[in-house]
Amino acid sequence: MAYKTNPAREGIKHGLVWFVLFTAFFPLYLMLVISVKDNAQFSHNPFLPDPPSTWHWENWTYGWNVIHMSINNSIVVSLGAVVLCLITATLMSYALARYKFPGRGIVYYGLIGTMFLPGTPATLITLFNLVHHIGMFDKLWTLIILGAIGGQVVSVFILKQFIEEIPKELFEAAEMDGAGHLKQIWNIVLPMSGSVMTTLAIMQFIGVWNNLMLPLILVPSPQSRTIPVGLMMLDGEYVKEWGQLMAGFSISSIPLIVLFLFTMRTFVKGLAAGAVKG
């Protein structure tokens, strides 16, 4: 018997899809349109593009001159935080998943319990004093360490579940061949958890990339600004140049767009694997 579709139901589904696409892409469209306008054009016609002959490409030049160093700093901080976070989280998850040792439950659930601690805004003064007194103030590697720490709990929680699902026979066979712990992680854990680690890496990268509060408070030097802080420099004190501001936002979004274009398939694969494992 042929399957009959319900026109009303299909219409609702398509309408929902188009609504989601509109809410996702309309801000991007608006950002690009405004990025080539001056304030007079923006006030007169904020939603539709003007003729190409009136576009102000100097907005992009100005935006690049202001934030290009911030882009470099953000790339260094975000990549460093991702690498450090995944290395430490993988080692800890491997130990918690593979071996039973006294206090393992206390360590694991104590780590998970840190999810309920107050976030950065509630502990900012304490964190500032700590960073200042141990000589980590106004250094990019401080943001790398703090960014890696911020993603530890979620990474350990997810990776531990995946490592526990790996057949124990693989580890036993590797031990019989003389493989140590690091070789087992390299040859077994990493290949089988690659898609999940990629998903965690993307989420961690975006979180560190978009972090405003820690770079603003802990790394105040102009040469050490990250993207969110650099974009604040485009927000004029008395007059807000919307074209320059949107050009800066457009430039800062390019690395994230490139990241998703090259990792989208692996990202979706990791999310699907997590759903099946759960």
How far is residue 207's CA from residue 219's CA, in Å, rounded to a whole number?
17
Residues 193 and 143: their CA atoms lie apart, in Å, by 27
- Spatial distance between the Cα atoms of 209 and 74, rounded to a whole number of angstroms: 6
CA-closest candidate to residue 56, choices 25, 86, 32: 32
Tens place of pLDDT per residue across the chain (278 aa): 455 667 778 888 888 989 988 998 898 899 999 999 998 999 888 888 989 899 999 999 998 988 889 999 999 999 999 999 999 999 999 988 888 888 888 888 888 888 777 766 677 888 889 888 988 888 999 999 999 988 888 899 889 888 888 888 888 888 888 888 889 888 888 888 888 888 889 889 989 999 888 898 899 888 888 999 888 877 766 678 889 899 999 998 888 888 888 777 776 666 555 544 44
Q: Long-range contacts of range 164-168, CB-CB < 8 Å, 24 or more positions apart?
A: 164/97, 165/277, 166/192, 166/193
The total number of residues written for the chain in this structure? 278
What integer pLDDT is reported at residue 6 of this predicted model? 74
Q: Which residues contact 205 (CB under 8 A, 6 or more apart)?
A: 78, 79, 81, 82, 259
CATH class of 69-277: mainly alpha
The number of beta carbons lying within 10 Å of the beta carbon of residue 153 is: 16
pLDDT at 79: 94
pLDDT of residue 278: 43
- State residue 164 phi and psi, 5-degree precision: -65, -25
What was the pLDDT predicted at 276? 44
- The pTM score is 0.82
pLDDT for 31 equals 92
The pLDDT of residue 78: 93
